[in-house]
């Protein structure tokens, strides 16, 4: 047996073991498969990784916390949700990763997100470990007071597991500036500490970094631009389809416009809007950020250029580039086929794991540039790490300085993924490049720190 096939069969064996040990966690298994499938060449080249049991240790979180979150609604009714924090890997720095509040949250979802986060954070080069958390709480339709009581109850347990040197949560689906404010207030009240670096995504007036709200969307557009540049093209004049209408989608649309491209769609779980004039960002922000409304209300108020398609998927709208920015597995093989039929050149993941494995393989086989989330949406966590640096130094940087750093980091990530893919015989394959480059950084740190 050659070294290469030996490492492939070790990985196959490991995947079987992971499936056995983590039943009923399909998203985590999907994420683990996606990474492990690309690691054979690096394990063949660096046998010391296998000897140190690195992959076996990487797929097992260092710590998993599950807790009860009781809270009362405005009528005094008691609800009980489940809270999670998975502290996956701290070889490179304190655990870092967002909190998701969505009814679909369970341990498998948080583990998939935490696992992805390890490699994403390593790719930023900023000294942050990987973690993720959240709850099956659904903030839709809840009053501010209800959201506040939920956040206070959630933090009343979470506070004992986090800290600026231990674990630093941020936002994700259903957790934005409002929720981070309530969570930070309760942490401060319980601990009697002004520990700004315990959470990121804070308000700009009380320790938050400028450009943090924009960072994930802006970063993904910069990554897409870098992929196009590699092919001798740019964003100017390109039409884009964007899914979602939350934090990531909104700032993706904003940056596309700034770089001369035109986003013609947005969506939420009720359906999508197509606007032939291009999405009016002022109106979208008013509907989603101020009124916390639904996208059909955008279409109603926009006039004849826009229409709402209930239950539809944005991928049927013709475009040059696609930026999925809502949730996992929102772009399947049929969607990928539709994009390819319409001549798409690049797909860059703003969301985490939005494209199914079948969709990714089809896009890559068809020569479409594909930017995996752990590289393309790393701008958010990168600016979170810059927020931690500002908090530590008790200073705040200008928006221009943060954006310059973000641009540098996204270009570095692109170059790293591109060069790593070439080095391991997979030119143009950003999935392999991102997985191996992130893995090498974490694996080298774990190797140096012993079997722990």
247 binds ligand NDP (CB under 6 A): yes
Q: Is 285 annotated as a binding residue?
A: no
Q: Is 38 annotated as a binding residue?
A: no
Q: Is 9 annotated as a binding residue?
A: no
356 binds ligand NDP (CB under 6 A): no
Nearest CA to 352 out of 447, 220, 440, 450 is that of 220
Q: Which of 69, 168, 224, 248 binds ligand NDP (CB under 6 A)?
A: 248
Which residues 6+ apart lie within 8 Å of 292 measured at CB? Answer: none
Kind and range of the H or E run holding 134:
strand 129-135
244 binds ligand NDP (CB under 6 A): yes
Q: Is 247 annotated as a binding residue?
A: yes
Q: Which of residues 156-175 bind ligand NDP (CB under 6 A)?
A: 171-174
- Out of 132, 288, 345, 374, pick the active-site residue: 132
Q: Using alpha carbons only, how large is the chain's radius of gyration in Å?
A: 21
Nearest CA to 344 out of 240, 421, 444 is that of 240
**Is-contact 347 371, C-beta < 8 A?**
yes
Q: Does the annotation mark 132 as catalytic?
A: yes
Compare residues 133 and 380 and give the one whose CB is closer to ligand NDP. 380
**Is-contact 54 443, C-beta < 8 A?**
yes
- Nearest distance from C-beta of residue 431 to ligand NDP, angstroms: 17
Compare residues 216 and 262 and give the one whose CB is closer to ligand NDP. 216
Site string for ligand NDP, 287-326 (x = CB under 6 A): --------------------------------------xx
Compare residues 216 and 239 and give the one whose CB is closer to ligand NDP. 216
Residue 273: alpha-carbon gap to chain centroid: 23
Helix (H, G, I), strand (E, B) or coil at 240: strand
216 binds ligand NDP (CB under 6 A): yes
How many CB atoms sit inside 10 A of residue 394's CB? 8
Question: How many amino acids of this chain bind ligand NDP (CB under 6 A)?
Answer: 24
Residue 421: half-sphere exposure toward Cβ, Cα within 13 Å? 20
Helix (H, G, I), strand (E, B) or coil at 370: strand
**Is-contact 343 366, C-beta < 8 A?**
no
327 binds ligand NDP (CB under 6 A): yes
Kind and range of the H or E run holding 449:
helix 430-449
Stretch that binds ligand NDP, among 50-58, 177-185, 239-247, 418-426 (CB under 6 A): 239-247
Q: Which of 268, 280, 296, 403 binds ligand NDP (CB under 6 A)?
A: 268
Give the integer Cα–Cα distance in Å for 82 and 174: 15
List the binding residues for NAD(+).
216, 247
Catalytic residues: 132
**Which residues of the shown chain bind ligand NDP in the complex (CB under 6 A)?**
102, 104, 171-174, 176, 216, 244-249, 268-269, 325-327, 350-352, 377, 380
């Amino acid at each position: 047996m050659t070294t290469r096939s030996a490492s492939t069969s070790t990985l196959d064996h490991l995947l079987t073991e992971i499936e056995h040990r983590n039943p009923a966690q399909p998203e985590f298994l999907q994420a683990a498969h996606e990474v492990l499938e690309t690691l054979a060449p690096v394990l063949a080249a660096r046998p010391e990784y296998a000897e140190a049991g690195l992959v076996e240790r990487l797929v097992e979180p260092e710590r998993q916390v599950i807790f009860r979150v009781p809270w009362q609604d405005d009528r005094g009714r008691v609800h009980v949700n489940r809270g999670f924090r998975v502290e996956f890997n701290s070889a490179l720095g304190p655990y870092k990763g967002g909190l998701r509040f969505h009814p679909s949250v369970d341990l498998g979802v948080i583990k998939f997100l935490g696992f992805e986060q390890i490699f994403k954070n390593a790719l930023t080069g900023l000294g942050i470990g990987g973690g993720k958390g959240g709850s099956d709480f659904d903030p839709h339709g809840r009053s501010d007071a209800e959201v506040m009581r939920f956040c206070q109850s959630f933090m009343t347990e979470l506070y004992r597991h986090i800290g600026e040197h231990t674990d630093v949560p941020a936002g994700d689906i259903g957790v934005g500036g409002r929720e981070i404010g309530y969570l930070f207030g309760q942490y401060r009240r319980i601990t009697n500490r002004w520990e700004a670096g315990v959470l990121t995504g804070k308000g700009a007036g009380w320790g938050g970094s400028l450009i943090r709200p924009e960072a994930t969307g802006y970063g993904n557009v910069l990554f897409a631009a870098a992929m196009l540049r590699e092919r001798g093209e740019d964003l100017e004049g390109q039409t884009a389809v964007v899914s979602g209408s939350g934090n990531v989608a909104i700032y993706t649309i904003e940056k596309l416009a700034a770089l001369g491209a035109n986003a013609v769609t947005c969506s939420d779980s009720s359906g999508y809007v197509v606007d032939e004039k291009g999405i009016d960002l002022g109106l979208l922000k008013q509907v989603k950020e101020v009124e916390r409304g639904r996208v059909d209300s955008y279409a109603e108020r926009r006039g004849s250029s826009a229409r709402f398609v209930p239950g539809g998927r944005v991928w049927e709208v013709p475009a040059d580039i696609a930026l999925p920015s809502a949730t996992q597995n929102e772009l399947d093989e049929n969607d990928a086929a539709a994009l390819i039929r319409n001549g798409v050149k690049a797909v860059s993941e703003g969301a985490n794991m939005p494209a199914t494995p079948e969709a990714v393989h089809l896009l890559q086989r068809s020569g479409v540039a594909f930017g995996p989330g752990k590289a393309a949406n790393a701008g958010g966590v990168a600016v979170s790490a810059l927020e931690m640096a500002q908090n530590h130094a008790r200073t705040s940087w200008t928006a221009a300085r943060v954006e310059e750093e973000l641009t540098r980091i996204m270009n570095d990530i692109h170059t790293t993924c591109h060069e790593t893919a070439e080095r391991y015989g997979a030119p143009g394959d950003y999935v392999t490049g991102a997985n191996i480059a992130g893995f090498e950084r974490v694996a080298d740190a774990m190797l140096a720190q012993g079997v722990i």
